[in-house]
Amino acid sequence: MNVPLYEKIWMWAAGGIIAAFIAIVLVTGVGGALQPPSHVETIDPTQVFKDPRFAHPAVTVDANGATVVAFGMMYGFTPAEIRVPAGKRVTFRMTSTDVTHGFLIVGTNANTMLVPGYVSQFTTVFQRPGEYLIVCNEYCGLGHHLMSAKLIVEEAKP
């Protein structure tokens, strides 16, 4: 194929940019610094309340950090107010009892889908104490825009 010089330069540059993109994604992704929530665990969505994993939605804090067990349900999250310590690792374990919901903590990159039948799990750290808005970011019915909750990040006690 006879490719004119300028276009050749352009194509090499485009290839270079793309290679750089891929390298960045691989380095941050494989290193684990930037992983999307990709936990694989299933649950019977009609039995969430009885399932020992979700029967007591709450936050448990220990020396290493906190674990948040929560679920989404038309049109709210349980618990509706989540308190976690700042600067510590916080692991969220969540699911849905009805349709697909989303879970986004506004102003952070904590974002996951809550798909019925599956357990979503990810770990993050909140550096900034304060109050955050949690919203459902997947259409889940006529009350979708009302579905929200509160996250309170507390100054870690010394």
Sites of contact with other proteins (CB under 8 A): 1-4, 6-7, 10-11, 14-15, 17-18, 21-22, 24-26, 28-30, 33-46, 74, 98-100, 102, 104, 106-107, 109-121, 132-133, 135-146, 148
58 interacts with, out of other proteins, Cu ion, none, CB within 5 to 8 A per kind: none
Q: How far is the CB of 83 from other proteins (least distance, A)?
A: 18
Closer Cβ to other proteins, 7 or 62, answer by number: 7
User: How many whole angstroms separate alpha carbon 75 and alpha carbon 148?
Assistant: 8
The residues that touch Cu ion, with contacts defined as CB under 5 A, are 136, 140, 144, 147
The distance of closest approach from Cβ of residue 85 to Cu ion in the complex, given in angstroms and rounded to an integer, is 28
Decide which of other proteins, Cu ion, none touches 7; Cβ closer than 5 to 8 Å per partner kind.
other proteins
Q: How many CB atoms lie within 10 A of CB 139?
A: 12
- Count of H helices and E strands in the chain? 1, 10
Q: Write the CA distances from 141 to 40, 80, 82, 136, integer angstroms.
A: 26, 19, 24, 11
DSSP 156: P
Q: How far is the CB of 95 from other proteins (least distance, A)?
A: 8
Q: What's the Cα-to-Cα distance from 48 to each of 18, 69, 119, rounded to whole Å?
A: 44, 12, 10
